[in-house]
């Protein structure tokens, strides 16, 4: 066996190997992690001693386990005396611990974060191919963040960043998970399953920014988790836009605006199905005041708006042109134009709904 020279030094800085940390986060045992490291490193380092590698892996794992309580409460990691960790490494440790596997997170979206659903993680692990230990860690992270911020005042993203020291991008993803869990959106139905985790995060961010209490008054409590009740009540007035005279006017303006901007067959479909689509938009909005209709928001948007337009072979561009014209031309409709509150409600609703539709409009 070849001689191996080891350099040994003593210091008080806790050494963290990011690759070993990732293996631990992924749910591999110390033995499994050692095997994976050996397979990778033995081709780069001749004469590598597997026992030394195993001891190094076990030592790293002990450190991670000892740190875990502090990682679950990230602000304490900087002040505890046992581990001297440089700030950039602390940031990496926390961000990686709370990092999401999107396929696993997608399975959780909309579910109540309870011990009952934690029992379903075996099935989720098998379905997503994410190791069970990793699924459990991520689920516990979701639940911990939810319990911490659900009753807090102030912007949810900032609260998550303050209490868990996460980047804004990652905090927004947890914000979406909390928002979906709080409002119990139905995301498991077959029709909705094609939507990705990112689709739902984008839609949640749009809703939080425009439809919640905090979107209009930053002084209110529970601002980002709850829809603004007054706004939902005002949405009932959207039924006025499907009144025959109003709908005929709106249709005429929209079809005129779209003439020559899309294929004739698509334009003809807009003309023949305008009232059906407009009625679907009005019904979805006016029904959001009821918890059952709110839970089915995504399913209804897909069933009543997206799927019919896909079946008529509207492109993403066609849908974008239609929604832009639908919103812009509403200014010219007499019933909407003379009713300032209805006009404001319509634009507030449609500006967000249209962006959600475009985000969801894919195969």
* Residue 118 confidence (pLDDT): 81
Range 57-74 average pLDDT: 95
pLDDT tens-place string over residues 42-51: 787 777 888 9
Per-residue pLDDT of 235-293, as tens digits, reads 999 999 999 999 999 999 999 999 999 999 999 999 999 999 999 999 999 999 999 99
**338, pLDDT greater than 90:** no
Contact, 282 vs 335, CB < 8 A?
no
More confident residue, 119 or 287: 287
Cβ pair 270, 258 in contact under 8 A:
yes
Q: Name which of 21-25, 39-43, 345-349 the model is least confident about.
A: 39-43
Nearest to 138 by CA among 172, 177, 165: 177
Instruction: Tell me what pLDDT residue 11 has.
Output: 56
* pLDDT for the residue numbered 216: 67
By C-alpha distance, which of 256, 277, 261, 28 is closest to 131?
A: 28
Among candidate residues 300, 308, 240, the one with its CA nearest the CA of residue 270: 308
Residue range 141-183, pLDDT digits in tens: 999 999 999 888 888 999 999 999 999 999 999 999 999 998 9
**Integer Cα distance of 224 and 145 in angstroms:** 14
The answer to whether the CB of 101 falls within 8 A of the CB of 134 is: yes
Q: Which long-range contacts (CB under 8 A, 24 or more apart) does 357-360 make?
A: 357/301, 357/305, 357/306, 357/319, 357/323, 358/316, 358/319, 358/320, 358/323, 359/199, 359/202, 359/203, 360/195, 360/199, 360/203, 360/298, 360/301, 360/302, 360/306
Tokens of 335: 């019933």
pLDDT at 75: 95
Average pLDDT of the chain? Answer: 91
Instruction: Extract the tokens encoding 84.
Output: 């001297």
pLDDT tens digit string along 205-237?
999 999 998 766 655 545 567 899 999 999 999
Q: What mean pLDDT is predicted for residues 189-209?
A: 96
pLDDT at 318 over 90: yes
> For residue 254, what are the β-bridge partners?
none
pLDDT at 154: 83
User: Token pair for residue 15?
Assistant: 């050494």
pTM recorded for the entire structure: 0.89
């Amino acid at each position: 066996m070849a001689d191996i020279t080891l350099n040994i030094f003593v210091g008080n800085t806790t050494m963290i190997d990011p690759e070993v940390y990732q293996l631990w986060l992924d749910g591999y045992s110390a033995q499994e992690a050692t095997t994976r490291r050996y397979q990778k490193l033995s081709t780069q380092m001749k004469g590598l001693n597997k026992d030394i590698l195993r001891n190094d892996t076990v030592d790293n794992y002990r450190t991670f386990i000892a740190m875990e309580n502090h990682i679950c409460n990230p602000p304490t990691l900087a002040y505890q005396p046992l581990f001297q960790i440089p700030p950039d490494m602390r940031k990496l440790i926390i961000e990686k611990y709370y990092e999401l596997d999107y396929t696993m997170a997608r399975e959780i979206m909309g579910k109540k974060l309870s011990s009952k659903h934690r029992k379903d993680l075996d099935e989720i692990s098998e379905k997503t191919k994410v190791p069970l230990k990793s699924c459990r860690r991520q689920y516990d992270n979701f639940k911990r963040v939810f319990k911490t911020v659900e009753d807090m005042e102030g912007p949810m993203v900032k609260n998550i960043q303050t209490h868990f020291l996460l980047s804004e991008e990652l905090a927004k993803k947890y914000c979406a998970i909390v928002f979906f869990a709080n409002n119990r959106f139905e995301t498991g139905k077959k029709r909705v399953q094609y939507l990705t985790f990112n689709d739902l995060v984008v839609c949640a961010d749009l809703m939080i920014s425009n439809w919640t209490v905090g979107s209009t008054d930053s002084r209110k409590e529970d601002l980002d988790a709850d829809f603004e009740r007054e706004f939902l009540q005002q949405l009932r007035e959207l039924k006025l836009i499907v009144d025959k005279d109003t709908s005929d006017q709106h249709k005429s303006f929209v079809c005129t605006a779209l003439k020559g901007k899309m294929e004739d067959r698509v334009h003809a479909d807009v003309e023949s199905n305008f009232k059906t689509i407009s009625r679907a938009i009005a019904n979805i909005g006016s029904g959001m005041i009821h918890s059952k209709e709110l839970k089915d928001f995504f399913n209804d948007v897909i069933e009543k708006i997206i799927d019919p337009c896909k079946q008529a072979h509207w492109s993403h561009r066609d849908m974008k042109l239609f929604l832009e014209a639908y919103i812009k031309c509403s200014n010219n409709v007499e019933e909407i134009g003379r009713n300032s509150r209805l006009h404001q409600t319509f634009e507030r609703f449609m500006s967000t709904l249209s962006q959600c539709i475009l985000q969801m409009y894919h195969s």
